[in-house]
Chain A
Amino acid sequence: MKLYCLSGHPTLPCNVLKFKSTTIMLDCGLDTTAALYFLPLPLVHSPRLSKLPGWVSKDGAVNLEKELKECSGRVFVDSQPEFCLPEKELLDLSTIDVILISNYHCMMALPYITEHTGFTGTVYATEPTLQIGRLLMEELVTFMERVPKAQAATCWKNKEIQRLLPGPLKDAVDVWSWRKCYSVQEVNSALSKVQLVGYSQKELFGAVQVTPLSSGYSLGSSNWIIQSHYEKVSYVSGSSLLTTHPQPMEQSSLKNSDVLILTGLTQIPTANPDGMLGEFCSNLAMTIRAGGNVLVPCYSSGVIYDLLECLYQFMDSANLGSTPFYFISPVANSSLEFSQIFAEWLCQNKQSKVYLPEPPFPHAELIQTNKLKHYPSIHGDFSSEFRQPCVVFTGHPSLRFGDVVHFMELWGKSSLNTIIFTEPDFSYLDALAPYQPLAMKCVYCPIDTRLNFHQVSKLLKDIQPLHVVCPEPYTQPPPAQPHRSDLMLELQPPPMAYRRCSVLGLPFRRRYERIHLLPELARSLVPSEIKAGVSVATVSAVLQSKDNKHVLQVSECSVQQPDELDPNLSDSLGNTECLKCMIFTSELYGHILHLQTEDVLIQLEEDATHIICDNNEPLRTALRDLVLRFLQKL
C-alpha cells in the first residue's frame, strides 16, 4: 500500500493511494498562487498597465522586455496567468481508477488530470460539489477568455534565465509545470466523468469500498473512508467544526482507521473566524459611514453565503440598511440559486426552513428587496445601475483577473475606499503588489473555517487512528512563528510527513481476509466444543476467487474420471463428509493392536494412529470409521 504525493500544498492536496490493486486519487487541487507572478488582466483598457517598462537585466545581457514588465517596483510576467498543476511525472495518470473529490475547491485541476492523460476512470463527488465546482471552473474560464492575451511567455522559464531574474520570480518553483487555464470543452468533458454520491453512500470499487462523510466545511464537502473488510484509510480534507451553513462534520465514522491522511487544516491558525467576521463588519460600516466603497475580493461560493447572511442581520442594526450590495461574477446568479436547492446538505437550522417552505439562505430576501443585486460582469446593466457608496463582492481573490481588477484601478486611488480580504488562499501583500502605491485602506480579515491545530488534536484523540499522514508543514511551527509549538501536530507515533513528489509506504499489518462459506457448506460443518465458548470445525472445501471475492463451497467429487471408479467407491466419494477435528488424549498411547485374523496392525500414538492392512476396502473403512468415532468421543 503506497501513497504518491503529487502536490505539496496542504490545502490543495492531490495524492494517489494504491490500495488493494485499486489506484485512487484523493482530490486534485489547483494551486492558483502562481497567478501572483503575473500582471493583472484588466477588463477595461488600463493606461497604467499598458505602459509598463519591459525588463532588461542590469548589464543588458538578458532582454525579456516582451515577457516581463516592471510594475510598482516588482517584475511580473506579462502573459495569461498560469497555475501550478499536480505532479504529472510521478506515476502514470492513465492507471488511475477512481478520483475522490472532497470539496469544490479541491477539484479545480480535474480537467488537467482527466483530459489528455488517457484517464478512463470514474470521478466521485457529491452533487453540490459537482454543481458549484462546475460554476467555479466556468467562472475561471470566463475570466481568462474575456481578456485574451496574444502571447504566452515562456522564455523566462528557462533555468539559466530564471536564475538571473529578480525575486520573487527567481525563487518560483516548478515553473515548467505551470499551465494556462483549460477550456469550457475540457471542463464539460472532465465533469461528464463524475458519478454523484451521497453522504454515507457505500460505493464498491472492486474489493475497495469508498464512502463520503460530511466534513462541515462547504456545501457537499466530504471526507472519505476507503476500506476493505480489514483495512481502513480515512482521508480528511477541508473539515470544519464551526456552525456555518453546511451539514456538521461526521466524526464517529472516522474511528478505527489504520491510516488517517490529514490535509486541509486552517491556513490562518492564529485568526479566529468569528473575530474576523466582527472585524469585517466594523471596517465595512466605518468605510460606508465615511462615504467610501468596500471591495471584497472573494470566491463565488462558500464564505460569501455566510458573509451575506451576517450582513443581512448587521446592516439594519448598524443603520446602513440602504447600502446596496453588488455581487459581480459570471456565475453570481447561478451560485445564489444553487445555494437554495441543496437543503439535504445544509445544517439542521437551514434544513428546517425548507420545510416551511422558505429558502434556506436569507440572501433570497436581500435579492427580493433589492438590497443585493447580482450581475454577470461590470459591463451592461451594472454600469448604469450602480450607486455609491456600496459593497462589491467579486473575484478573483488573487486580484490578477476577474472584475476585481477593474475595481482596484477604479477605487485604489481614494483613501475613502477599503478593500477587505476574507479569503485566506493568497498573501494579501503579494496580491496588492502590482497596484502599489495604493491610497485605499487595506484590511486583512481572513476567514478560514477549517480545523485548527487545537481542534484537530482533540479530534485525533477521539478517533485514535493508528497512523497519521500529513503534509510536511503540519509537522513544524509556521516559519513566521518558530516558537509556536502549539501550531503543529504533535502525535505519538509521530505523523508521517509528505511533500511534493514523496512516495510513502503505508504501514498495514493485515492478517485476515473476508471469505464466504456457501450455505450448503456451512450446514455440513460439525463444530465440536473444545473449551468453554470455543468451538472448532475442520473445513475441507473448494476455494473460488473472483474479483477479489473469495467463496468456499462444498467440494464435489474430487476425482476426475468418474467412469473409471467402481460404483461403491463413487458413492463413498460423493459422500464427502467433512472431517471432524481430531483430538486424542487417550491412555492407550504407545500400544499396538494386532488383529491377527485379518493381519491388521494399528499403531496408537499420542498424536497419530497408523493402520496397516491388506487391500480389503470394507475392512479398512470399517476400521477407519471406528477409529474416527473413537477419536471423536475423546
Chain B
Amino acid sequence: MPDIKVTPLGAGQDVGRSCILVSIGGKNIMLDCGMHMGYNDDRRFPDFSYITQNGRLTEFLDCVIISHFHLDHCGALPYMSEMVGYDGPIYMTHPTKAICPILLEDFRKITVDKKGETNFFTSQMIKDCMKKVVPLNLHQTVQVDEELEIKAYYAGHVLGAAMVQIKVGSESVVYTGDYNMTPDRHLGAAWIDKCRPDLLISESTYATTIRDSKRCRERDFLKKVHETVERGGKVLIPVFALGRAQELCILLETFWERMNLKAPIYFSTGLTEKANHYYKLFITWTNQKIRKTFVQRNMFEFKHIKAFDRSYADNPGPMVVFATPGMLHAGQSLLIFKKWAGNEKNMVIMPGYCVQGTVGHKILNGQKKLEMEGRATVIIGTLDVKLQVEYMSFSAHADAKGIMQLIRMAEPRNMLLVHGEAKKMEFLKDKIEQEFSISCYMPANGETTSIVTNPSVPVDISLNLLKREMALGGPLPDAKRPRTMHGTLIMKDNSLRLVSPEQALKELGLSEHQLRFTCRVQLHDPHSDNDTLGRIYTHLKSVLKTYSIQHVPDGTVIVESIVIKVTSSAEEPNLKVILLSWSYQDEELGSFLSTLLKKGLPS
C-alpha cells in the first residue's frame, strides 16, 4: 500500500523550531528548518541526527522548502546546510530569499557577539547557504525532478509567506506554514484551490481561539496605547522587524494623524528603513488596496514614526516604541523592557504569540519576578515587573475558524496539525474529525505518522478502444447501466497501455483462446419450436428490460451476444431442448439465463 510518512523534528505539538519531514512517493522533503526561541542549548535546533547518524543530509533529502522568513521557520537553515551538510535545492519565495539572510545575520550577531556563544554558524555560512536557494513564484509549478513537483500559494502571514503543495504522481501533500485567512492592512488573505490533497499539514497556533472581530482588537489596542500616552506613560511593543511591525505602524500612523497626537513613535533597529524598502519593492505581495495605490502614495513611507536611539529610552515623558525581537527573549526589546518594567505607568503590549521559555511568555503568564541572565546564562539578578502587561493577538495566524475555512477550501483527505500546543490541538482535532469526517493526526516530535493513500493508476488507453466504448454507450455512458469494457493491459518498459484484446494479441503475436459454453436446457412446452422461441423472447424481454434482445427470423433469439435456439425431436415434439451458447466474456449473463430458463416459462 502506498503511504505518506510525516515526522516532525520540530513543531510537533509545540510552537517553534518548525521542521517537518515528509516522505511521499519515494521522495523525502524537509518542510521548514527553524530554531526554537525558548532554548539556548542543543534543543534550539531540530535533531537532524534523526535523518542520519553521521554524515551529510544531501543524499537523504530531495529538497528543503522554507515557508517564510520567521526564524522559527528558517533559523536552523545555515546550521543544517553548512554545518550538518546539505547541498540540494532549498526553495523559498523571492521576498523570503531577500529577507531571510538579514534575520539570520541578526540572530547570529545576538548569539555570537552579544551572548558570546561559539560553535555557531558564521556570516559566510549564511551566504553559502543562501546560494543553494532556488526562488519560488506563486502558483508556479516547479519540477524538482522528474516526479516531484511543488507549487506555492499565498499564505498572508508575512511578506512572502507561502503555503506549498507537494505532488508526486497523483499523491499530494499541502503544508501551510503559518497563514492568515483574513486580509489585514497590508497583506491579503491566504488562498488555495480545491486541490484535494491526501494530506493537509496545518499550523494550529490559535487552535482554540476564535478571535473577535479585527476592528474591535484594533480599537482596544489604540485605546490602550492612547490612555497610557495620555497619562505620561511609555508603551513598549515588542515586534519582529518585518511583519506585524508594518501592520501596527500603519495602524498607529493613521491614528496619530486622525487624533493629531504629538507623543513620539519610534521604531528600534536600523532595519526599519531597509525593511520598509523591501515592502516597497515587493509591493505585489501586499494586499489589493496597497498595490492599487502605490504609484500615488506608498503606504510604507511613515510620517510619524521615527528611528529609535538607545538613549531615547531614558527620555522623560510619553512615547511609543516598537522594538525587536517580538518575544522579549533578547536584544533591544528586552533592554528597554528592563528599563521600563519597574514603573506601573508604563505598558508593554505583546502583539503576538510567545513561545515557552521566553520572557514574553513568562510575563504573559502573570509572572511578577523575573530572573535575569547575563552572559553565558549566569543569573545575575531578579527584575520586578510592575508595568502593565497586555496581550493583543495581532499575529497573522489563522484562528480555529480560519483553519476550518482552509480545510473547506482545499478538501484534504487527511489532516495533520503542527505548530501548536498539544492540548489545544486535541480540541481542534476532535472538531475537525467531527465536522469533516476525515482523520486528523498530531504527531509529537520524532513520532512518525503514516497515511495510506489510494492513488489511481494512470494508463494510456488506445483511442480506438475508448471511442468504440464511447460510441456504444452514447456520448456519456449511462450511469444507470454501466457498461463493462473489456480490454487488455500491457505492461512494458514502465508504460501501461490499455488496448482492445484483439490489438493486444496482434501486438504481442498471440492468438486469443476462445472459451465457449453451450448449455442444454430441457423444457416441456406444447407449442411449435418457433412459438416456444417466441415465448422465450417475450419472457426475456419482460425480465431483462434494459438489455438488447433480438428475435432473428432464422430461428434464434440473441440476448446481447448470447445465442438461444430451440430444437425438439420428432418423437417427443413437446420436449424442447433449448441451446444457450455464450462465450466466457458473457459468463455472468449466460449463467443467469440458463438458470432462468430452467425454471420454465410463465404460462
Contacts and interface: CB of A to CB of B under 8 A. Distances in A.
B456 A517 contact: yes
Nearest to B579: A612
A89 B476 CA distance: 33
Interface string B559-603: 000000000000000000000000011011101101111100000
Nearest to A201: B139
Interface in A519-541: 519, 522, 525, 527, 530-531, 533-541
B501 interface: yes
A573 B508 contact: no
A341 B282 CA distance: 6
Interface in B469-517: 469-470, 473, 476-477, 479, 481-493, 497-498, 501, 504, 508, 510-517
B138 A516 contact: no
Given A343-B282, A545-B477, A582-B513, A512 B462 contact: yes
A516 B489 contact: no
A458 interface: no
Interface string A163-200: 00000000000000000000000000000000001111
A533 B585 CA distance: 27
A510 B463 contact: yes
Range of interface residues on chain B?
A: 35 or more
A199 B140 CA distance: 6
Given A357-B274, A542-B484, A559-B592, A527 B94 contact: no
Interface stretch (B62-70, B245-253, B539-547): B539-547
A355 B282 CA distance: 10
Contacts of B294: 337, 341
A341 B543 contact: no
B521 A543 contact: no
**In terms of DSSP, what is the predominant structure of the interface of chain A?**
mixed
Contact of B466 (A515, A565, A608, A628): A515
Interface residues of A, number: 92
B488 A581 contact: yes
A343 B97 CA distance: 12
Interface in A430-474: none
A617 B482 contact: no
B92 to A, nearest CB: 12
B167 to A, nearest CB: 10
A537 B295 contact: no
A580 B491 CA distance: 15
B457 A560 contact: no
A583 B511 CA distance: 7
Choose among A354, A543, A612 the residue with the greatest number of B CB atoms under 10 Å from its CB. Answer: A543
A354 B160 CA distance: 14
Contact of A607 (B511, B519, B522): B511
Interface stretch (A50-58, A275-283, A300-308, A547-555): A547-555
Contact of B592 (A556, A569, A611): A569
B595 A569 contact: yes
A555 B482 contact: yes
A246 interface: no
Contacts of B459: 514-517, 552
B515 A536 contact: no
Nearest to B481: A560
Contacts, number: 258
A194 to B, nearest CB: 14
Contacts of B460: 229-230, 512-515
Nearest to A627: B515
B486 A516 contact: no
B560 to A, nearest CB: 11
A341 B284 contact: yes
Contacts of B137: 198-200, 344
Nearest to B514: A608
A333 B464 CA distance: 59
B520 A614 contact: yes
Nearest to B97: A355
B140 A201 contact: yes
Contacts of B519: 612-615, 620
A481 interface: no
Contacts of B473: 543
Contact of A559 (B141, B476, B589): B589
B283 interface: yes
A471 B282 CA distance: 39
A531 B135 CA distance: 47
B458 interface: yes
A101 B106 CA distance: 44
B454 interface: yes
Contacts of B469: 543
A617 B591 contact: yes
Given A341-B284, A607-B514, A608-B513, A550 B461 contact: yes
Contacts of A522: 456-457
Given A200-B140, A566-B595, A613-B520, A334 B295 contact: yes
A382 interface: no
B545 to A, nearest CB: 7
A369 interface: no
A539 B487 contact: yes
B98 interface: yes
Interface in B438-462: 454-462
A613 B581 CA distance: 10
Nearest to A610: B516
B587 to A, nearest CB: 7
A599 B12 CA distance: 72
B543 A564 contact: yes
B170 to A, nearest CB: 8
A538 B142 CA distance: 37
Choose among B284, B470, B595 the residue with the greatest number of A CB atoms under 10 Å from its CB. Answer: B284
A341 B281 contact: yes
A359 interface: yes
Nearest to A253: B143
Contact of A569 (B94, B274, B591): B591
Contacts of B591: 569, 572, 617, 620-621
Interface string A315-348: 0000000000000000001100110111110000
A608 B515 contact: yes
B217 to A, nearest CB: 30
A544 B482 contact: yes
A552 to B, nearest CB: 7
A334 B283 CA distance: 14
B308 interface: no
Given A518-B456, A533-B493, A615-B594, A343 B139 contact: no
Interface in A332-391: 333-334, 337-338, 340-344, 351, 354-355, 357, 359-360
B518 interface: yes
A511 B500 CA distance: 13
Contacts of B479: 544
A559 B520 contact: no
B20 to A, nearest CB: 25
Given A536-B489, A541-B484, A607-B513, 13 more contacts: A127-B284, A199-B140, A200-B141, A341-B282, A514-B458, A535-B492, A540-B484, A558-B589, A564-B596, A576-B588, A613-B519, A620-B517, A631-B515
18 contacts: A341-B280, A341-B284, A511-B464, A516-B456, A527-B489, A534-B491, A535-B491, A536-B489, A538-B486, A538-B488, A540-B486, A540-B487, A552-B459, A552-B498, A569-B591, A608-B515, A617-B591, A621-B591
| Closest CB pairs A-B (n = 5) | A608-B514, A582-B513, A542-B482, A584-B513, A516-B456
Interface of B: 94, 97-98, 101, 135, 137-142, 151, 170, 274, 277-278, 280-284, 294-295, 454-464, 466, 469-470, 473, 476-477, 479, 481-493, 497-498, 501, 504, 508, 510-522, 543-546, 584-585, 587-589, 591-592, 594-598
